[in-house]
């Protein structure tokens, strides 16, 4: 297809509509603002739902504390990564930043499952259903994702998949960490399957939706 207008015309047009714009605030500051808003929202949810009665004892267990801290750190690092990934002059490696703590989270939950199994035998790995986890993580992720999208969309659409997936990971990890504070799952295998399963679902679904939102359409369909 021949060029519809010379590129020089496009330049003239772009220059003519170049209204003043304010450069975006530094990505760390934008991440902090979003994390602050997420903290307020999640704290409200925890307070409304009522923290679990054994919260202090629960978090004093190392096999609970380590995956919980890993989930929060994953959420924070994924947030920072998502904001950096929309800036063209920041490296691709930002997509890898949340992976070590994500791996630690998985390993710690896996180790808890193993210790449940050693302690209780096959009963320790009995898997029930907890749609409450799924519903809470998905429903909490909706407003958090909306807010994150509202902030991240000011960036450049250059890495739609990486931005959407790290953003969804941020949202789901923090939702899961908040859920830990008011929902009393004791078996590690339940946490592993239902929390991480919900996180994986949110990452895939919200990631796929976000990928389309962050992408710039180029496809030609006649």
- List CB contacts of 46: < 8 A, sequence separation 6 or more: 178, 181, 182
- Report whether 42 contacts 178 (CB < 8 A): yes
By CB under 8 A, is residue 84 in contact with another protein?
Answer: no
Query: Could you give the CA distance from residue 144 to residue 120 in angstroms, rounded to a whole number?
Result: 38
Query: Could you give the CA distance from residue 66 to residue 86 in angstroms, rounded to a whole number?
Result: 30
CB of 59 to another protein, least distance (A): 39
By CB under 8 A, is residue 23 in contact with another protein?
Answer: yes
Provide the 10 A C-beta neighbour count for residue 38. 23
User: What residues from 143 to 172 belong to the interface with another protein (CB under 8 A)?
Assistant: 154-159
CB of 221 to another protein, least distance (A): 7
Which residue, 17 or 119, is less far from another protein as judged by CB? 17
CB of 181 to another protein, least distance (A): 36
By CB under 8 A, is residue 56 in contact with another protein?
Answer: no
Handedness of CA 185, 189, 192, 197 (dihedral sign): negative
Residue 219 gets the label, from left (phi > 0), alpha (psi -120 to 50) or beta, of beta
CB of 82 to another protein, least distance (A): 14
Site mask, another protein, residues 85-104, x = CB under 8 A? Answer: -xxxx---------------
Which residue, 20 or 50, is less far from another protein as judged by CB? 20
Please choose, out of 82-90, 94-102, 122-130, 190-198, the segment that lies near another protein by the rule CB under 8 A: 82-90
Dihedral pair phi/psi, residue 184, rounded to 5°: -90, 70
Q: Which residues bind to another protein, rule: CB under 8 A? A: 1-5, 7-8, 10-24, 26, 86-89, 154-159, 216-222
């Amino acid at each position: 297809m021949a060029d519809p207008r010379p590129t020089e015309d496009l330049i003239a047009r772009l220059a003519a509509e170049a209204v003043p714009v304010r450069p975006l605030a530094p990505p760390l500051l934008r991440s902090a603002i979003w994390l602050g808003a997420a903290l307020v929202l999640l704290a409200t949810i925890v307070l409304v739902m009522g923290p679990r009665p054994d919260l202090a004892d629960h978090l004093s267990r190392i096999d609970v504390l380590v995956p919980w801290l890993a989930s929060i750190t994953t959420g924070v690092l994924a947030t920072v990564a998502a904001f950096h990934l929309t800036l063209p002059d920041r490296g691709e490696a930002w997509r890898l930043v949340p992976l070590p703590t994500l791996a630690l989270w998985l390993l710690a939950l896996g180790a808890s499952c193993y210790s449940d199994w050693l302690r209780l035998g096959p009963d320790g790995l009995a898997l029930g259903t907890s749609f409450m986890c799924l519903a809470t993580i998905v429903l909490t992720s909706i407003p958090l994702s909306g807010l994150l999208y509202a902030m991240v969309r000011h960036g450049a659409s250059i890495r739609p998949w990486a931005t959407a997936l790290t953003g969804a990971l941020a949202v789901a990890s923090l939702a899961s960490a908040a859920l830990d504070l008011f929902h009393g799952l004791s078996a590690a295998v339940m946490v592993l399957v239902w929390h991480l399963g919900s996180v994986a679902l949110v990452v895939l679904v919200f990631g796929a939706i976000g990928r389309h939102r962050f992408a710039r359409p180029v496809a030609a369909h006649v």
